[in-house]
Amino acid sequence: MTTRIFHNGHVLTARGFERDACVVVEDGHVVALLHGEPPARGERIDLQGGWLVPGFIDVQVNGGGGVLFNNDTSVEGIAAIGRAHRRFGTTGFLPTLISDDAAVMRRAIEAARSAIAQGVRGVLGIHLEGPYLAPARKGTHDAGKFRVPDAAEIAMAASLDNGVTVITLAPECVPMETIRALVERGAIVCAGHTAASYEQTRAGLDAGIAGFTHLYNAMTPLQGREPGVVGAALEDAGSWCGVIVDGVHVHPASLKVAIAAKPQGKVLLVTDAMPMVGGATPSFDLYGETITAVDGVVRNAAGALAGSALDMASAVRNTERLLGLPLDEACRMASQYPAEFLGLGGELGRIAPGYRADLVLLDAGVNVQRCWIGGDE
């Protein structure tokens, strides 16, 4: 049995950051939180006064390390994406497939299944962002891929049996019974890339929609006489909202409004990351078109935003600095709340006995110094 003692740091617990806490890890799980002098047994890991937080969980990762999931639907591709994001504190993620043909979706799901079965570190499932979306809010998605799923495709889309499946769709573009069928098969359904009205969004929530993909972006806005998708998202206490905090996708004031409107714990950080995160080049191809990051902003040839060059450590740092939230809450938005959204809140997202030892050591500038998954670097 391998025992590791993490000590001499600020440890994020349910009470906030605790300076005198030490974390005892055995066989990949936290077994105790102690105070005072750390026990003599086991390997000591000196945190040197840094901040130890739960590993970040990113539910929307299109790519990283030079790899776009759509272009490399393989176990090796998923592993490369995971390695790239681990440098920035991400210990759990959903490889995210942008709208594509059924054959590509099938390969992506099989790759996720195989990656989990083979123990590729960090893979928690898959996110299918489309293709059941609205052409009017397509963003950089190819509307030529959009369609309404039949029974066979519903079964295929929700067929991952050893991980979590998140499916983003436009509720006005699919029958309510389709949403219910996906939910009944275990998928977590989110609204996104949607031109729905408030009433259509409310119907989707009643049918089982659990959240909203990159709130504010690619959806109908909140207006005085037409609340739209954003209004429905902010009004609904039970749903989750992913937000891209990069200073580009959404104005900080709008994000502050969302955080104030939603119950605590219902807003979570996502990156919507593209291959340049942890990669060597600022460009990649999607649907035969070159997408490029200029000054950290990712756009297609038409100038539309096309995902982001954001990593989770930067998202946490931006949440603290742009939104004025304390570091402990910013870290929960990157770990505890995504875990709860995925239904994994009993095993991931906290530093507590019984939880997997997915841990990140930050310095005072919220830069990642070290990262452990299941207690191992």
Binding residues for substrate: 140, 217-218, 225, 249, 305-307
Which residue ranges make up the annotated binding site for Zn(2+)? 129, 193, 214
Other C-beta atoms closer than 10 Å to the C-beta of 246 total 21
C-alpha distance from residue 195 to each of 261, 296, 301, 347 (Å): 22, 28, 23, 36
**Residues designated catalytic:** 272
Question: What is the DSSP annotation of 157-213?
Answer: HT---SSEEEEEE-TTTS-HHHHHHHHHTT-EEEE-SB---HHHHHHHHHHT--EES
The whole-angstrom separation of Cα 158 and Cα 234 is: 27
CB atoms within 10 A of CB 301: 11
Q: Which residue has the tokens 């990157």?
A: 334
Distance, CA of 169 to CA of 3 (rounded, Å): 44
Binding residues: 129, 140, 193, 214, 217-218, 225, 249, 305-307
Encoding tokens for residue 8?
């001499």
DSSP labels, 74-140: SHHHHHHHHHHHHTTTEEEEEEEEES--HHHHHHHHHHHHHHHHTT-TTB-EEEEE-SS--GGG-TT
- Tell me, what amino acid is at 69? F
Tokens of 249: 């996708």
Asked whether the CA dihedral 124, 55, 311, 345 is positive or negative, the reply is positive
How many CB atoms lie under 10 A from the CB of residue 173?
22
Residues 6+ apart with CB under 8 A from 230: 215, 216, 219, 220, 221, 222
**φ, ψ at 245 (rounded to 5°):** -100, 80
